[in-house]
Structure 1
């Protein structure tokens, strides 16, 4: 492993380095669930905008911290190099000290804790346990003796915690209860957030194998992992159709089908057998699937509420 003193001076402006450290293309995995949960809450009562914003930024800070922990621990374990794809690269490319990245992660957790206090004061302190659990998962994803990212369960934890749980908490803080409808609506988003994680792991199969990881993509193999990614896409859209047919959500929820070009592009990108650098396009298309699917679902729910 290269020593810290051998790194060159930062090649990019500091604001660019910090922005890339957050891995911005993944942040919709936080924004979309909070938005959906809040729109769902409109059906049963008034929405507190300040609670919505507090929840939104608390979730964003938790996700950014998770990405920073990922950057820090992957470097410490010798997994990240200057040629690694899909990382922020602040340490291996720009000379930022690993300690600084760790401090930034802890600072993000501190900010999310402050926002969490406000949320709990406005709702219930039981949510503190849920929030601390989510923060622990964020750290343990790449930290600790057995990182979740090294196991086949990364997609499950990402989908449940950042998909379903973010929706349900966002709904709960506005209403003080959970409904069957909110749970059912959260499920396809859990699939799509898990898909973002899976797409990253498909792209990183070669490097992760060398690093000793046993991700779901590695266990399935690239071909079957892409098939499973396609399954997650398909079941997410079918789920919405079923919710519309059964009357759980209004017909305008079918607006999600306008996002179909994104998952098609993602699958084509992986199936084409392009090298990892080019797979970034497929990975971004997977993240955009969650973004556009979630935004269109929110719009559909919003329209149905007023009609």
Structure 2
């Protein structure tokens, strides 16, 4: 473990930001913006601000997880995931706390502009998003420790992110936007499922009752496949319901990418393979969202 102390400070902060998870923040903004454009409501300023806010919230959430998991003992030395910088001593708890506050502060500053554009609904969304990011592993009832992490990721990184991005541009909301947010949220949740599948044993020992710990390996693998299948079927349903042209089916081109990911989820037990599967699921989520956004533009 001492070898990690040779890592440069800027590299340690980059590790804490967990860049492989950041597509989860970008994809929903792309879809929400594409829908706004399709409805003649595109606004560059709010769209860029929504992207910045989403990235800051994702990074702040990652910092908070690193910080609070350290104090709860959820990051033991034998964990299979990437190095956690607080537990490994790369960044002190005090510095991580400051970093977390700075990132959430920047997100709040971005939110002030979006509130000026979208009014009180954006204020409510912003406050709830920051509180949820902290409460995922912190506070008196951490969602991630009581099997609710998957639900809150789906809600905030799927429904809220897509609908919020659309709202700050169109200043209204349509049912098709909510429907389009569902497959995006399902795939973002699948990223978390791989993370929790990898960490089942260490989370169980630490008393971190994720949904994966509750379901066990078989149930968690089933959840992963249901999330992926649901994403593609919802897109198909949007088209069959006449809510979009055949172009909205473009995300189906990513279906072959699910095959190796699903195989790894079924068979892999080692950390490196599951870490690669997590990164692959994040790439799938981003590419799916890119094609979905392109479909709405076309």
**TM-score range normalised by the length of the shorter chain:** over 0.9
Task: State the partner residue of 1:126.
Answer: 121
Task: State the partner residue of 1:23.
Answer: 18
Contact 1:21 1:90 (C-alpha < 8 Å) held by counterparts: yes
Looking at structure 1, the residues matched to 219 and 85 of structure 2 have their Cα atoms a distance apart, in angstroms, of 33
| Residue 31 of structure 2 corresponds to residue 44 of structure 1 | no
Looking at structure 1, the residues matched to 4 and 75 of structure 2 have their Cα atoms a distance apart, in angstroms, of 18
Alignment size in residue pairs = 298
Match of 2:181 among 157, 178, 186: 186
Task: State the partner residue of 2:234.
Answer: 239
Looking at structure 2, the residues matched to 241 and 266 of structure 1 have their Cα atoms a distance apart, in angstroms, of 21
Matches within 5 A, 1:213-292: 213-292=208-287
Structure with bigger helix share is 2
Looking at structure 1, the residues matched to 152 and 38 of structure 2 have their Cα atoms a distance apart, in angstroms, of 28
Judge which range, 53-62 or 118-127, deviates more.
118-127
Instruction: Report the alpha carbon displacement of residue 278 of structure 1 after superposing the two structures with TM.
Output: 2.2
Looking at structure 1, the residues matched to 82 and 277 of structure 2 have their Cα atoms a distance apart, in angstroms, of 15
Could you say if the C-alpha distance between residues 181 and 28 of structure 1 is closer, same or farther in structure 2, counting changes exceeding 3 Å? same
Contact 1:7 1:95 (C-alpha < 8 Å) held by counterparts: no
Looking at structure 1, the residues matched to 93 and 29 of structure 2 have their Cα atoms a distance apart, in angstroms, of 31
Looking at structure 2, the residues matched to 274 and 109 of structure 1 have their Cα atoms a distance apart, in angstroms, of 35
Looking at structure 1, the residues matched to 200 and 271 of structure 2 have their Cα atoms a distance apart, in angstroms, of 9
Match of 1:70 among 42, 65, 68: 65
Contact 1:65 1:109 (C-alpha < 8 Å) held by counterparts: yes
| Residue 92 of structure 2 corresponds to residue 97 of structure 1 | yes
Looking at structure 2, the residues matched to 286 and 44 of structure 1 have their Cα atoms a distance apart, in angstroms, of 30
User: Tell me, which stretches of 5 or more residues in structure 1 are unaligned?
Assistant: 1-5
Looking at structure 1, the residues matched to 206 and 255 of structure 2 have their Cα atoms a distance apart, in angstroms, of 34
Contact 1:167 1:186 (C-alpha < 8 Å) held by counterparts: yes
Looking at structure 1, the residues matched to 123 and 24 of structure 2 have their Cα atoms a distance apart, in angstroms, of 21
Contact 1:59 1:166 (C-alpha < 8 Å) held by counterparts: yes
Contact 1:149 1:215 (C-alpha < 8 Å) held by counterparts: yes
| Residue 201 of structure 2 corresponds to residue 206 of structure 1 | yes
- Using the size of structure 2 for normalisation, the TM-score is 0.95
Instruction: Report the alpha carbon displacement of residue 117 of structure 1 after superposing the two structures with TM.
Output: 0.4
Instruction: Report the alpha carbon displacement of residue 133 of structure 1 after superposing the two structures with TM.
Output: 0.6
Looking at structure 1, the residues matched to 140 and 181 of structure 2 have their Cα atoms a distance apart, in angstroms, of 31
Runs of 4+ in 1 over 6 A off after TM superposition: 6-9
Instruction: Report the alpha carbon displacement of residue 122 of structure 1 after superposing the two structures with TM.
Output: 1.8
Instruction: Report the alpha carbon displacement of residue 44 of structure 1 after superposing the two structures with TM.
Output: 2.2
Could you say if the C-alpha distance between residues 44 and 95 of structure 1 is closer, same or farther in structure 2, counting changes exceeding 3 Å? closer
Match of 1:10 among 5, 11, 21: 5
- Root-mean-square deviation (CA, aligned residues, Å) is 1.7
Deviations 1:154-182 (CA, angstroms, capped at 9, x unpaired): 11100111111010010001111100110
Task: State the partner residue of 2:29.
Answer: 34
Contact 2:12 2:90 (C-alpha < 8 Å) held by counterparts: no
Task: State the partner residue of 1:3.
Answer: none
Deviations 1:24-81 (CA, angstroms, capped at 9, x unpaired): 1111111111111011011222422111111111111111111101001111122213
| Residue 171 of structure 2 corresponds to residue 176 of structure 1 | yes
Contact 1:203 1:283 (C-alpha < 8 Å) held by counterparts: no
User: Tell me, which stretches of 5 or more residues in structure 2 are unaligned?
Assistant: none
Contact 2:80 2:270 (C-alpha < 8 Å) held by counterparts: no
Looking at structure 2, the residues matched to 266 and 151 of structure 1 have their Cα atoms a distance apart, in angstroms, of 27
